Structure 1
Amino acid sequence: MTKLVHQSTSEAESYRPLASQERVEEIKELRQTMTSLGGGEEGEQLHPFLGLTLRVPSQVMTPCPVSPMLGGAVFAEVRPGDRVLDMGTGSGSLALIAAKKGADVVAVDLNPHAVAAARANAELNGVADRVESRESDVFDSVEGRFDLIVFNPPFQWFAATDYADVAGTDAGYQALTRFFREARAHLTEKGRMILFFSTMGDVEYFEKLVADEGFEHKVVFSTTQPVFDVPVEFTVHRLS
């Protein structure tokens, strides 16, 4: 796979987690396990997802077993006619769910392979007229305001090794921090956000970003699932 040049190892190494040292060591062990297993299958894979059909290339993260929880939250939140931003769209699954419910969606990702996949999947699932896909580093290529912003951010703070890895880790949480600092300027007056996070990352830092920006915050879904025999809590957050 193509090496990723956007992420800095020094940013990752200089990050100081707010999570307990015990949890940090557990997260690092999970990271080492995932890295040792390498990427998934090469080539394009076909994945069903909440009534959608997704074609996912090897350079893009596939939906995981808990992804339907986030997809369901997005479906419940979207209102017909909403203008929606899907940040870090990946294969485009959440953008397609919003479009199927009658929203007009801008789907962005740092990974050019993800942008192409989201565009192709919008065509495949009959919503190409409602989904615009473009490459963007956080909000760099995003204009205007949105009724709903959806973001499934990388959970971890390490430097990504390739484009497939960038969906799971964000060096020093540079992108996540930028997102929170800039998000309110891209929301309409009554705009809201749906975000995903987990204890595979520094939840305490995520919660600090929420508090620092003054968002009203509610956990709308939560589940605990084993990841390589380590119990991990996954949560869907509604912010307004």
Structure 2
Amino acid sequence: MELTFAAPVAPVIPVAGSDALFPVHRIYCVGRNYAEHAKEMGGTGREAPFFFMKPADAILAVASGTTGKMPYPPMTKNLHHEVELVVAIGKSGRDIAVADAAQYIWGYAVGLDMTRRDLQSEAKQQGRPWCTGKGFDYSAPVGPLVPVAELSKVESAAIHLDVNGVARQHSEIHKMIWNVSEVIAQLSQFYTLQPGDLIFTGTPEGVAVVVRGDVLEASIGGVEPLKVEII
């Protein structure tokens, strides 16, 4: 049996401090997982977070010490940044207990959930899916993954984003409504998690517009930083 065309190559993310590459299976995202961000998006604060997805090939993988180049996407005049802790899943599981969730984590990275906010807002108003607002090409820049064994106390770390050297977002991971283990447990009730899955765990307050030429620098304590230029 022959394929009608060459099978697509899986997107990969570099692993910090090595030549290893982490293949990406799926990208799950948590919406409104910080109370203050929920408020700035028109919510009441600590409502239950929810999930949406991006295509795996939305990844823009950025190696250590380099600047990723993200093309400004078409069909928008309101591109927003959202800095997030990214959790990489290392083994399959379903209906995972909160107490067992940590054993499914392969590592962590810092990522950006880039959003065509005008398209997302229009979809919300019309009761339609967010796909065009969230799942476009290069909409998921991610820095190198740090294996979980090399990183402790990530949930007490600060999360920060500068644009052109000016602070835009700053918070602490412990302010998430659902912590990492709770996110994994909740998500695994809907999907069988697989090795290579990434979970973008939500963004703190301070999301705002970026334009061509802007340089975004994202960091989480203990994780490799991420630098992206909008071109």
- TM-score, with structure 1 as normaliser: 0.26
TM-score (norm 2): 0.27
Q: Which structure is higher in helix share?
A: 1
Choose between structure 1 and 2 for higher RCO, CA contacts under 8 A separated by at least 6 residues. 2
